[in-house]
Structure 1
Amino acid sequence: MPTYRDEGVVLRTHKLGEADRIVTLLTKSHGKVRAVAKGVRRTSSKFGARLEPFMVADIQFYEGRSLDTIQQAETIASYGADIVDDYPRFTAASVMVETADKVTELEGSPQQYLLLVGALRSLSRQEHPTELTLDSYLLRALSLAGWAPTFDSCARCGEVGPHESFVVQLGGMVCVKCAPPGAPHIVPEVVSLLDALVRGEWDAAEAHTQQNWSKASALVSAYTQWHLERTLRSLEHVAK
């Protein structure tokens, strides 16, 4: 059976037998890959540390019937080394890789791969506040997956805004006519912040208050879990 090579970021690992692990990776060209890394739990393993969560590696795979096998792994970026020592960054990174696991399938997704690697790099270097980095990643990952939130017009009828209500089930801001009873009203500043996070406009996002950050995070959390149709287990550990 053939071998292939790709770069990938480690999403999660599971023990297998006495010394092996099953490693789930998001690769640049082959989408999500589950592969066996043999002997990596032994202290003598040459590349066990290269296959920990949040690490980015250049990997050679041997194609198998149900699971591939990792033959070689060379480190590209060791973001995990900086992230795991800081609890807020560790929990944020955990949410990121769990989300990437949910929004990607077997086909290649270079955009999702590059987005995740960029977010982990930003976390490891502390380029921006952790909570903003996480919320921006979630909104952009969902947008790439086809669930882009609408902020400047009604998500239901298309009427140009600004509007006051945000409804996760409808995909974003909605007008008065489309808003269901009890729909939460969102102040313009929070809408502006959410829009900046989607666009990656960091100066604008960081200029907002901590109170607005918290309100935006609550909306992003609800929006993400609704569209993924499942609870993100790691999200409950993120401090808001």
Structure 2
Amino acid sequence: MPLYRDDAIVLRTHKLGEADRIITLLTKRHGKVRAVAKGVRRTSSRLGSRVEPFMLVDVQLYEGRNLDIVSQVETKEPYARRIAEDYAMYTAATAMVETADKLVDHEKEPAWDQYRLLHGALGSLSRREHEPGMVLDSFLLRSLALAGYEPSFDLCASCGRQGPHRAFVVAGGGAVCEACRPPGAAAPAPETFSLLEALLSGDWASADASDDRPRRDAAGLIAAYTQFHLERKVRSLTHVDRTDARQS
């Protein structure tokens, strides 16, 4: 069986038999990989804590017929330990890895950009650089953009007319002008559009200075946009703690 090694982020795990787990990894060079980690549920296992969701690891695997086999794991960044200390961070990270798992649909296909984005987002969360909900929202917008679903917040998504515009259509790709606006379209405030643009571009000075109302409105639009274009529900989004740390 060919042996290979890669950096990887643990996306999820589930039990296999009495002592094993199936680990889903997003790797730097090999895309998404599903592998068996044997014996990790035993108390004597030294690998168990290293293959928890959110961990950044250096992993060695053997190629298998259906599933690869984990042979060695070394911790590179213990994101899981830091993130698990805070409920808002934990729920945001859970939604991130679920989204990454759904966006990278096929195994063993290159997904370097998605890996790099998730790595950066989990690192930002673990260092408490920004409010967790906004880190999540920025990750969702940018990961969708990488996958070919970048929303428009300035130009009309239908006719290309220069904005600013006052309507947003989830199914239509973002902002739309009055001429293209369908009945029932959302009408976000200008401050919400500004925040959406900042989150997509990574303008954290503007995003961090935003108020609570635009943050709530932007989060709702981003969640709807994400699930529409993924064509499936991201279950973790319903559990995300949106409590602003500034209020605590």
Q: Which residue does 2:169 correspond to in 1?
A: 167
SS of 1:33's equivalent?
Answer: strand
8 Å Cα contact 2:92/2:241 also seen in 1 = no
Take 1:171 and 1:16, find their aligned partners in 2: how far apart are those partners?
41
SS of 2:155's equivalent?
Answer: coil
Q: Which residue does 1:236 correspond to in 2?
A: 238
Q: In structure 2, which of residues 143, 146, 151 is the aligned counterpart of residue 144 of structure 1?
A: 146
Take 1:191 and 1:112, find their aligned partners in 2: how far apart are those partners?
25
Runs of 5+ consecutive residues of structure 2 not aligned to the other structure: 243-248
Q: Which residue does 1:115 correspond to in 2?
A: 117
Q: Which residue does 2:185 correspond to in 1?
A: 183
Instruction: Give the AA of the match of 1:88.
Output: A
Take 2:22 and 2:155, find their aligned partners in 1: how far apart are those partners?
45
Give the deviation of 1:20 after TM superposition. 0.4
Give percent identity, aligned residues only: 59
SS of 2:184's equivalent?
Answer: coil
Q: Which residue does 1:51 correspond to in 2?
A: 51
Q: Which residue does 1:206 correspond to in 2?
A: 208
Take 2:212 and 2:118, find their aligned partners in 1: how far apart are those partners?
25
8 Å Cα contact 2:37/2:70 also seen in 1 = yes
Q: Deviations over 1:133-161 (max 9, x none)?
A: 01000000000000001011110111111
Take 1:141 and 1:74, find their aligned partners in 2: how far apart are those partners?
27
SS of 1:127's equivalent?
Answer: coil
Question: Could you list the runs of 4 or more consecutive aligned residues of structure 1 that deviate by over 3 angstroms after TM superposition?
Answer: none
Take 1:187 and 1:233, find their aligned partners in 2: how far apart are those partners?
27
8 Å Cα contact 2:87/2:241 also seen in 1 = no
SS of 1:140's equivalent?
Answer: helix
**2:222 maps to 1:220:** yes
Aligned residue pair count: 240
TM-score with structure 1 setting the length: 0.98
Instruction: Give the AA of the match of 2:88.
Output: P
Give the deviation of 1:22 after TM superposition. 0.2
Give the deviation of 1:239 after TM superposition. 2.8
Q: Deviations over 1:200-239 (max 9, x none)?
A: 1101111110111111101111110111111111111113
Cα RMSD for the two superposed structures: 0.8
Take 2:210 and 2:45, find their aligned partners in 1: how far apart are those partners?
47
Take 2:235 and 2:192, find their aligned partners in 1: how far apart are those partners?
26
